[in-house]
Amino acid sequence: KNEVEQSPQNLTAQEGEFITINCSYSVGISALHWLQQHPGGGIVSLFMLSSGKKKHGRLIATINIQEKHSSLHITASHPRDSAVYICAVIISGSRLTFGEGTQLTVNP
Amino acid sequence: DGGITQSPKYLFRKEGQNVTLSCEQNLNHDAMYWYRQDPGQGLRLIYYSQIVNDFQKGDIAEGYSVSREKKESFPLTVTSAQKNPTAFYLCASSPSGAPTEAFFGQGTRLTVV
C-alpha cells in the first residue's frame, strides 16, 4: 500500500464545475505539497501546507493533520486547468513521497 | 529569472550506452534531487544531495550515478547497468535539507532503443 493515496485517479469535468481532488497519507508528516504537471512534463508547486487552508486564485488547498487528509479544490474550472495534480508529503528529513497523481480533464 | 534547467528535453540512446542528464539551478539552493516517473506511478527518488560534494542514494539508485561538484549542478548518469532506463526524469531543488519549497525542472524524457 502506498504511503500517499490520491483519489480519483482520473477526473473529467465540464467547464465551470467545482472540482475536488483528495489525498490521504498513512504516516505522520511535517508538510504536504500540491503540485501541477502539464502535458509537457514540467511540474509547478501550487501549495505547501502544514495546517489549515491556503487559497490562490481559483485554487484552494486544505489539510486536516488529525485525519491525515488533504484536498485540492478548483472553483470555476477551465480547460486550461487540465493537468495531472500530484500530492507529495514530507515524512522525514528532506525527502518527498509522492502520490500517483490525478489526471484532470476539463472540457469546454 | 531563477529556476532549474534540465537538458535535453528528449534524449534517445542505444541500449548499453551510458547517458548523462543535465540539471542546473541558479536559485542558490543547497539541496537537489533526481526523480524518475513511470506511467501510472508516483515519482520515485533516485539520488539526492544536500550539500556540495555529498549525495545519498534514494529508493531506486541502482544503475544510476551522480556528482555534485558545484552547488548549481547535479548531473545524473544513467548507466548500462540500469535494466529499464526508458522513463521521464525530473530534477528538483529546495533551499535547505527540508523541502519546505520545492522547485522542479521541465524534465528529460529518455528513450533507450
| Residue A10, CB-side half-sphere exposure with 13 Å CA sphere | 2
Q: Is A65 on the interface with B (CB under 8 A)?
A: no
What per-residue confidence (pLDDT) applies to B97? 59
Rounded to a whole number of angstroms, the distance from the CA of B62 to the nearest CA of chain A is 18
Contact (CB<8Å) B40/A100: yes
What per-residue confidence (pLDDT) applies to B104? 87
Contact (CB<8Å) B97/A4: no
* Out of A2, A94, A96, closest to residue B97 by CB: A94
Give me A69's grid cell.
487528509
Q: What is the pLDDT of residues B59-95, one digit of tens each?
A: 999 999 999 999 999 999 999 888 899 999 999 998 8
CA distances from B60 to A25, A88, B45 (A): 21, 18, 6
Contact (CB<8Å) A100/B90: no
Q: What is the pLDDT of residues A80-106, one digit of tens each?
A: 999 999 999 987 666 788 999 999 999
Give me B33's grid cell.
534531487
Q: Which of B21, B32, B56, B104 to mutate to test the interface with A (most CBs of A within 10 A)?
A: B104
What per-residue confidence (pLDDT) applies to A96? 84
Which stretches of A1-108 are assigned E, i.e. beta strand? 4-7, 10-14, 19-25, 31-37, 43-49, 52-56, 59-64, 69-74, 83-90, 96-98, 102-107
Which residues of chain A have a CB within 8 Å of the CB of B106?
40-42
| Residue A86, CB-side half-sphere exposure with 13 Å CA sphere | 25
Contact (CB<8Å) A41/B106: yes
